[in-house]
Amino acid sequence: MGRCSNGCRGKSGQLTMSYGEMAYVYDQLMADVPYDKWVEWAHSALSSYAASSPMDVLDLGCGTGEITLRMNELHYRMTGVDLSEDMLALARQKARPDQQISWLHMDMLQLESDWKFNAVISFCDVLNYITTSEELKMVFRNVYHALEDSGLFLFDVHALSYVSRSLAGATFAEVYDELSYIWFCDPGDQPGEIVHDLTFFLLEDDTYRRFDETHVQRAYTMADLKRWLEDSGFVNVRVSCDFSHHPIEQESDACERLFFVCHKQS
């Protein structure tokens, strides 16, 4: 399950969840997520490939702003975009007054901006929430047009082999003092698709209240992703595995996440 709600769509583009109630327990659920590893990977990639400084960076599917805020601490001029107003409200609350970050309520399928960015980032399997190839191609085109010439698009996705091997049919559960959940991962109708059915029990006034969420994700082959990116205009598309910067030529069964560095040609 990823950190964001932007573009979390199911079959035929229908919105399957909005991180409404879950937004307010989201950071507790994601407390062990290694956000710093994504930030370190992105900073290293941007420092290696990009010439301009400071850089204007768009965080696509920013969720509650954990990565956006950390990138801003490294002096990137950040804009966070998300579909969930609840998540954005939490992100705004976390930002210090001296952190000049723009927060935009927008669907990545309808991404529009009056300015261009030096880089677009999208981490923690945000793009796995785009569950049709046509919509994913649309996102790639939107990102391409949002970038300055020579701009970079950095993102990660769950690897198809990882989804098939470790998520399909799995069940997870956690019990905390004020929150518990059970999470079923069932194969969907499309290849690489996973339906996440989650049931939460939240303590309120000495009583546990139940609420349910359904999330749909889909994994794609590395070859398809590279082809669609190149069809969208990106060049020098490089793929690595699990926070590495070492390029790979094909997906390995040992890889949980694929990391992409994509260039917009000058």
Question: Which CATH number describes the domain made up of 11-157+220-264?
Answer: 3.40.50.150
* Burial annotation 139-169 (CB, 10 A radius, 16+ → b, else e): bbebbbebbbeebbbbbbbbbbbbbbeebbe
Tens digits of residue pLDDT in 48-84:
987 667 899 999 999 999 999 999 999 999 999 999 9
Domain ranges of the chain: 11-157+220-264, 163-216
pLDDT of 27? 74
3-state SS assignment for residue 41: helix
In this structure, which CATH number among 3.40.50.880, 2.20.25.110, 3.40.630.30, 3.60.10.10 belongs to the domain 163-216?
A: 2.20.25.110
Which residues neighbour 205 within 8 Å (Cβ) at sequence distance 6 or greater?
none
- d(Cα 185, Cα 189) in Å, to the nearest integer? 13
pLDDT of 11? 32
Given CA atoms 266, 139, 58, 239 in this order, what sign does their dihedral have?
negative
Mean pLDDT score of the chain: 89
Tens digits of residue pLDDT in 121-142:
999 999 999 999 999 999 999 9
Tens digits of residue pLDDT in 170-182:
999 999 888 899 9
CB 125 within 8 A of CB 60: no
% residues pLDDT > 70 (the chain):
90
- d(Cα 116, Cα 108) in Å, to the nearest integer? 15
pLDDT of 21? 64
- d(Cα 67, Cα 122) in Å, to the nearest integer? 10
pLDDT of 140? 98
